[in-house]
Structure 1
Amino acid sequence: MQNLVDNPAFIAIASLGIAILLLGVWAFMLERRIKKLMAGKSAASLEDTISENQKTLKDLLAYHQNVEEELRRIDLRIKKKLHGAKTVRFNPFQGTGTGGNQSFATALLDEDGNGVVLSTLYSREKVSMFAKPVVDRKSEFELTDEEKEVLKN
């Protein structure tokens, strides 16, 4: 027995035997994993599934990009729309015994503070209405105190 262990050919054959045994175990485990992966599928159907998943992913990415673009467009449209209306009623003839709180100033502005201020002055004889354009909550026309009040945030 001692002669066999000292023999280089025996050591080489024993090493190869152990390597073959380890490769056999590895191949067996790999075969089990492949069978588990392919359970109920052929190689062609698995390839089709992968191809179909790639196409679906590509379609989803394109859809996602379209949705993002549409949301940007909607966001821009919303910014241009009427953001709020604020109204203040007042009596322009206070202390004279004339009129009441029939007069008003109303601001119609978008999100950026652009729009118009509408003002009415009511008296027994007539009603006067004024419209003043507004950019960034400011007007090129002189504003009354009530109009300034409705332009505040």
Structure 2
Amino acid sequence: MAMEMHTREILITLGVACALLIIFVVHLEIRVRRLTRGGKAKNLDEAMSTMESDIKIIKQFKVEMIDHLANVEIRLGRSVQGVGTVRFNPFRGNGEGGSQSFASSFISEKGNGVVLSSLYSRDHVSIFSKPIKDFKSEYELTDEEKKSLVIAREIFSKK
């Protein structure tokens, strides 16, 4: 009788242990299926191999994107980003021209670009262009051109 008691306890203990192991195996099976879900892998080895190749592709893409963004950053620094325009009347005293004349600055982040000026009168329109390097021109700028350059440069201080 004592032997039967011990046998019963051993069987119950083994039954509980088997139940726990079955639960653990089911849990592991669910995790493995999650790993292989959505892919063509039939087993864990194939899934890991696929993930490894995907990681290599992603790392290569990251390197390419870093290079591309560096290139874009260089090109962006050379592009026109600051624009300033000032309208004015060059013939203030005699009423000719009105405020049809203007000076416009088009500059990059590094201060390179051009200032375009247009002087309008009833008879003709004159257009002038002055190169800008480092926010300065080798040619003398009019007050209106200087003002348009200041307006264009202020755009960079707002960033």
Calculate the TM-score normalised by the size of structure 1.
Answer: 0.69
Partner of 1:17: none
Task: Give the superposition deviation at 1:104.
Answer: 0.7
Calculate the TM-score normalised by the size of structure 2.
Answer: 0.66
Instruction: State whether structure 2 residue 50 is matched by structure 1 residue 52.
Output: yes
Tell me whether 102-111 or 29-38 shows the greater mean CA deviation: 29-38
What is the alpha-carbon distance in structure 1 between the residues aligned to residue 74 and residue 141 of structure 2? 29
Alignment coverage as a number of residue pairs: 127
What is the alpha-carbon distance in structure 2 between the residues aligned to residue 122 and residue 130 of structure 1? 12
Gapped regions of structure 2 (runs ≥ 5): 1-16, 34-41, 155-159
Partner of 1:4: none
Percent identity of the aligned residues? 42
What is the alpha-carbon distance in structure 2 between the residues aligned to residue 97 and residue 59 of structure 1? 69
Task: Give the superposition deviation at 1:101.
Answer: 0.9
The 5 A counterparts of 1:138-153 are 138-152=136-150, 153=154
What is the alpha-carbon distance in structure 1 between the residues aligned to residue 52 and residue 22 of structure 2? 26
Please say if residues 88 and 104 of structure 1, whose CA atoms lie closer than 8 Å, have aligned partners that are also in contact.
yes
What is the alpha-carbon distance in structure 2 between the residues aligned to residue 97 and residue 46 of structure 1? 86
The 5 A counterparts of 1:32-43 are 33=24, 36-38=27-29
What is the alpha-carbon distance in structure 2 between the residues aligned to residue 46 and residue 66 of structure 1? 30
Question: 78, 81, 95: which one pairs with 2:93?
Answer: 95
What is the alpha-carbon distance in structure 2 between the residues aligned to residue 119 and residue 73 of structure 1? 33
Instruction: State whether structure 2 residue 70 is matched by structure 1 residue 72.
Output: yes
Partner of 1:7: none
Which structure ranks higher in relative contact order (CA pairs < 8 Å, sequence separation ≥ 6)? 2
Q: Amino acid of the residue matched to residue 112 of structure 1?
A: K
Task: Give the superposition deviation at 1:133.
Answer: 0.1
Q: Amino acid of the residue matched to residue 100 of structure 1?
A: G
Deviation by residue 1:82-121 (Cα, 9 ceiling, x = unmatched): 2132211111111233331111101111222211000111
Q: Amino acid of the residue matched to residue 63 of structure 1?
A: F
What is the alpha-carbon distance in structure 1 between the residues aligned to residue 52 and residue 74 of structure 2? 34
Gapped regions of structure 1 (runs ≥ 5): 1-24
What is the alpha-carbon distance in structure 1 between the residues aligned to residue 83 and residue 49 of structure 2? 55
Tell me whether 77-86 or 53-62 shows the greater mean CA deviation: 77-86
Name the SS of the counterpart of 1:87 in structure 2. strand
What is the alpha-carbon distance in structure 1 between the residues aligned to residue 50 and residue 24 of structure 2? 23
